[in-house]
Amino acid sequence: MKRLHIYYSGRVQGVGFRYAVREAAQELRVVGWVRNLPDGRVELVAEGSDEVLDQLIWKVQQTMGRFIQQTQTEQSVATGEFSEFGIAR
């Protein structure tokens, strides 16, 4: 299991981005959260298997890619601290 920490920038706020990510994550049974940042970016923390996280990234790109200008991704070992996926504040 691994953990992804992703920052999306572009026109990613006010376009349903967090809700699209949550829907995709819940479909794939990924755990973690997504939230808007004050600087206009969206932050995503997700844990799951390599295959499922790759599918999540693909789904986000397919549904919201037109709004994304830049992505910064960090990978680490999953912590197991999450039991579901939600929208954080």
Ordered by start, the domain boundaries in the chain are: 2-77
**In angstroms, rounded to a whole number, what is the distance separating the alpha carbons of residues 27 and 25?**
5
Rounded Cα distance, 61 and 81, in Å: 26
The pTM (predicted TM-score) of the whole model is 0.95
Mean pLDDT, residues 9-30 taken together: 97
* Record: fold of 2-77: Alpha-Beta Plaits (3.30.70)
Q: How far is the CA of 81 from the CAs of 32, 39, 84, in angstroms?
A: 8, 26, 10
Alpha helices by DSSP H, listed for the chain, are: 17-28, 50-64
Residue 1 pLDDT greater than 90, yes or no: yes
Catalytic-role residue among 36, 41, 66, 89: 36
11 is catalytic: no
Instruction: Respond yes or no: is residue 36 known to be catalytic.
Output: yes
Which helix (H) or strand (E) covers residue 6, if one does?
Answer: strand 2-10
pLDDT tens for each residue of 26-79: 999 999 999 999 999 999 999 999 999 999 999 999 999 999 999 999 999 999
Q: What is residue 5's predicted lDDT score, i.e. its pLDDT?
A: 98
Of the residues 3, 18, 22, 41, which is catalytic? 18
pLDDT surpassing 90 at residue 89: no
